[in-house]
């Protein structure tokens, strides 16, 4: 497996793939899709200079693609994880495994995939949902290993459809909060590439644009992996949304100069009290927003809310290789072997967040109450 790092595969013709594989926002493939009995991923490391797809047919490949950020963004890695469980179950079935063996393989895949990246709770949320479905199906009279495996695939598709519905609902709630002609500040990539389609915070921006609100977006470049420069700029330009790319350090000055009306960002995990883990730099951006009286909204599906973690202190923060900071797209920009500290996420305290927009509506402080209600409402829906 050491050789697998998401090698490019031939791109299927757009008219040969199911509707579920096409993104309405980017007018190309979805970042995660199932076609021809295989899981396909857009290789997000290559964008915007190259557009490549890769495919996975083992659980280890899916885990590696998540870890290497071939696929990234909390909901997108959740979807990849869900298909990873299907791949594990299908392997057990093709090896002649019975019902128990297929369920055991799905559960083993969950453990392997959850370890790929620790901060985004959507990954464990998605794999837990799939593992629970496998268990429940196995308890049905007359269930076969074959039927269970194909039902799991249908459930992974359903998880993707749910993500799209969720994003559309959040986008509408969020757009209601954005004034006409607003200058919006956005961090990282939370769009169609980070989800299954449309996105979370970027979904709100797409919706404002579709409603003709005449918004303009300041796009943080988002060092070290440059998700803003590489991915958000690519998405917004394809959609014709007016924008300017800015260096991360420029956003504070823009807020002080009155050139930002609203800050929107996504999240990888929201603690029960509203403390929010998101891409490194979100906290700094929210400090400047608070200092300058700019409202800051997190846009998150309820699957990103983790009520088992009381505060941000309990959110595991991924640390990634120092090479991500020492180099930009493989080119060295710091002294060789320069010591680096590279946390991929930071936690913004709840008190700095104006509201948390979910598919069930907008949560306001006290978040301990409003987030619980939103989560319960989503579970009942
Ligand atoms: O390291 P990444 O690129 O996976 O980080 C992504 C983010 O931090 C996003 O803001 C977050 O996942 C929310 S995206 C809908």
CB of 375 closer than 6 angstroms to any ligand 1 atom: no
Q: Which long-range contacts (CB under 8 A, 24 or more apart) does 54-57 make?
A: 54/6, 54/7, 54/8, 54/9, 55/9, 56/83, 56/84, 56/87, 57/87
Tell me what pLDDT residue 6 has: 79
Q: Quick one: 30 exposed, middle or buried, by C-beta within 10 A (0-12, 13-18, 19+)?
A: buried
CB of 304 closer than 6 angstroms to any ligand 1 atom: no
Catalytic residue among 268, 275, 306, 346: 268
Percentages helix, strand, coil for the chain, rounded to the nearest 5? Answer: 45, 15, 40
Neighbours of 78 (CB within 10 A): 30
Neighbours of 325 (CB within 10 A): 17
- Could you tell me where the beta strands, DSSP code E, fall in the chain? 32-35, 38-42, 53-56, 183-186, 216-220, 243-246, 262-265, 269-271, 276-279, 296-299, 305-306, 327-328, 331-332, 345-348, 355-358, 361-363
CB of 99 closer than 6 angstroms to any ligand 1 atom: no
Split the chain (381 residues) into runs of 10 and give each run's mean pLDDT: 72 95 98 97 97 96 96 98 98 98 98 98 98 98 97 98 98 98 98 98 98 98 98 98 98 98 98 98 98 98 98 98 94 96 98 98 98 97 89
Tell me what pLDDT residue 1 has: 39
Query: Is 346 part of the annotated catalytic residue set?
Result: no
pTM above 0.90, yes or no: yes
Tell me what pLDDT residue 4 has: 65
Q: ipTM value, please give it.
A: 0.99
266 CA → ligand 1 middle, Å: 7
CB of 170 closer than 6 angstroms to any ligand 1 atom: no
Tell me what pLDDT residue 3 has: 52
Q: How far is CA 111 from CA 27, 128, 241, in A?
A: 34, 10, 40
119 CA → ligand 1 middle, Å: 10
């Amino acid at each position: 497996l050491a050789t697998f790092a998401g090698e490019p595969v031939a791109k299927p013709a757009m008219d040969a793939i199911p509707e579920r594989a096409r993104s309405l926002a980017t007018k190309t493939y979805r970042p995660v899709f199932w076609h021809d009995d295989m899981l396909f991923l857009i290789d997000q490391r290559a964008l915007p200079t190259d557009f490549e797809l890769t495919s996975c047919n083992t659980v280890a490949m899916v885990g590696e693609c998540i870890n290497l950020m071939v696929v990234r963004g909390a909901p997108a890695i959740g979807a990849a994880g869900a298909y990873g469980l299907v791949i594990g179950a299908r392997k057990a079935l093709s090896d002649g495994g019975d019902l128990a063996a297929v369920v055991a393989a799905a559960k083993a895949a969950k453990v392997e995939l959850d370890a790929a990246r620790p901060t985004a709770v959507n990954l464990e949320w998605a794999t837990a949902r799939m593992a629970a479905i496998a268990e429940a199906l196995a308890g049905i009279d007359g269930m076969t290993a074959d039927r269970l495996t194909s039902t799991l695939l249908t459930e992974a598709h359903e998880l993707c459809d749910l993500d799209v519905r969720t994003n559309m609902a959040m986008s509408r709630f969020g757009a209601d909060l954005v004034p006409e002609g607003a200058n919006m500040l956005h961090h990282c990539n939370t769009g169609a590439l980070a989800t299954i389609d449309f996105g979370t915070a970027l979904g709100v921006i797409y919706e404002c644009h579709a409603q003709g609100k005449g918004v303009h977006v300041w796009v943080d470049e988002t060092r070290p992996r440059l998700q803003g420069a590489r991915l958000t700029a690519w998405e917004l330009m394809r959609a014709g949304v007016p924008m300017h790319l800015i260096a991360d350090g420029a956003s504070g000055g823009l807020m002080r100069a009155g050139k930002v009306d609203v800050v929107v960002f996504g999240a990888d995990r929201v603690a029960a009290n509203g403390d929010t883990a998101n891409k490194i730099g979100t906290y700094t951006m929210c400090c400047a927003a608070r200092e300058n009286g700019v409202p800051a909204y997190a846009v998150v599906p309820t699957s990103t809310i983790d009520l088992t973690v009381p505060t941000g202190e309990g959110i595991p923060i991924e640390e990634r290789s120092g090479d991500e900071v020492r180099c930009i797209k493989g080119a060295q920009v710091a002294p060789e072997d320069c010591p680096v500290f590279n946390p991929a996420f930071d936690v913004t305290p709840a008190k700095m967040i104006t509201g948390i927009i979910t598919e069930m509506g907008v949560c306001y402080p006290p978040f301990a109450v409003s987030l619980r209600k939103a989560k319960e409402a989503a579970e009942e829906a």
